[in-house]
Structure 1
Amino acid sequence: MTRIEVAVPVPADRAYGYLADPRNRPAWQSSLRAVAAVRDDDSAWTDVTVVPGVRPRMRTTLAEPPYRWVEEGTCGPFTARLALTFAPEGDGCRVSADFAVRGLGVGGPLLTRIARVAVAADLRRAAELLRTA
C-alpha cells in the first residue's frame, strides 16, 4: 500500500460527501472522462477512462461517513483498492489515501508507483475544487 495525505480546506463531512460520490470523480480525477452505470446507492459504477476501452468496474466496499470510505475495482487481470480516511484538522480536514494495484507479475506494484503522483495531484485538485465551491 502507498499512502498520500492532503490537507482539505473544508470539514470532513463535506470532503467525504464530495469524494465518495462517484459522479464527482471526473471533475477531480485526471484519468476519468466520465462514470457510467452508477447504482442508485452509489455503491457500484464503471469508470470511463481517458484510455479508450479501459473501463474498470468499481464498487464501494466500506462507507463510514464522515471518517472512512473504501473502493475496489477490477480491470482485466488487475485489481485496485483505494481507502480514504478523513480526520479533522483546524477548520478543514486531512484526507489520507491508501492505495495499491495488484495484478500479474510486477505490473501491480509498478502501476501503484506510477499512480502515486496522479493520486496526489487528483486529491489536491479535489481540495481546490472544494475550496472554491
Structure 2
Amino acid sequence: MAGGAVDFAVPPEAAYDFLVDPTRRPEWQSSLRAVELVDGWTPGDPVVAGLRWRDVTWPGVRPLMTLTRADRPQAWAESGEWGAFSAELVLTFVPARPGCCVVADFEVRADGVLRPLGAVLTTLATGPVLADLRRAARLLSPSGAA
C-alpha cells in the first residue's frame, strides 16, 4: 500500500465523522460529482461497516464502494470495485496536538493482464488522495486554512 499522513486541527471524532460520511465526500474528494446511496441508508443513519454507495466521478467511473471497517474514532476502511479493478483505502486517526493526524493507506489492484496497471494507478492516485485529505483538513479547520 502507498500512503501518507495529513494533520487535522480537529479531534479524531470530528475528522472521522466528516470523512466517513459518504454524502459529504463530494465536498472534499476532487474526483466526485455525486454519491448514490445503496441499500436504503440515509444521511443521519449510523455509519457502520457494510454501508454501500456508488461514487459518481468526473471521468465517468462509477465504482461500488463498501465501508469495510468502522471503528470510530480510530480507523475506517473502504473498498471499491469497478470492472477488473479494485481499490482499498484505510484511514487511521491518531490524536495529536492540536487535533489529530489522519494516516492514509491506499492501493489499487487489477486482475489478469491489467495487474501491472494496479501498481501504476496506486502510485498515480496517492498524490490526489492526500490532496483530498488536505482539502478536508482545510474545510474542518477552525480558521478555514489548515
TM-score range, shorter chain: over 0.9
Instruction: State the distance in 1 between where 2:91 and 2:56 align.
Output: 21
State the match for 2:97 in structure 1.
90
Contact in 2 for aligned 1:22/1:38 (Cα 8 Å): no
1:42-80 Cα deviation digits (max 9, x unpaired): 51100000012x100000001000000000010110000
State the match for 1:59 in structure 2.
66
Unaligned runs of 5+ in 2: none
Return the index of the structure with the highest Cα Rg: 2
State the match for 1:36 in structure 2.
36
Q: 1:122 is matched by which residue type in structure 2?
A: D
| TM-score, scaled to structure 2 | 0.87
State the match for 2:57 in structure 1.
49
| 1:106 and 2:116 aligned | yes
1:88-114 Cα deviation digits (max 9, x unpaired): 101200000001000022110010000
Instruction: State the distance in 2 between where 1:46 and 1:105 align.
Output: 23
Partner SS state of residue 51, structure 1: coil
Unaligned runs of 5+ in 1: none
Instruction: State the distance in 2 between where 1:58 and 1:3 align.
Output: 19
Contact in 2 for aligned 1:84/1:98 (Cα 8 Å): yes
Partner SS state of residue 62, structure 1: strand
| TM-score, scaled to structure 1 | 0.95
Poorly superposed stretches of 4+, deviation over 2 Å: none
Instruction: State the distance in 2 between where 1:31 and 1:38 align.
Output: 20
1:2-50 Cα deviation digits (max 9, x unpaired): 0210000100000000000011111100110010024415511000000
Instruction: State the distance in 2 between where 1:124 and 1:37 align.
Output: 25
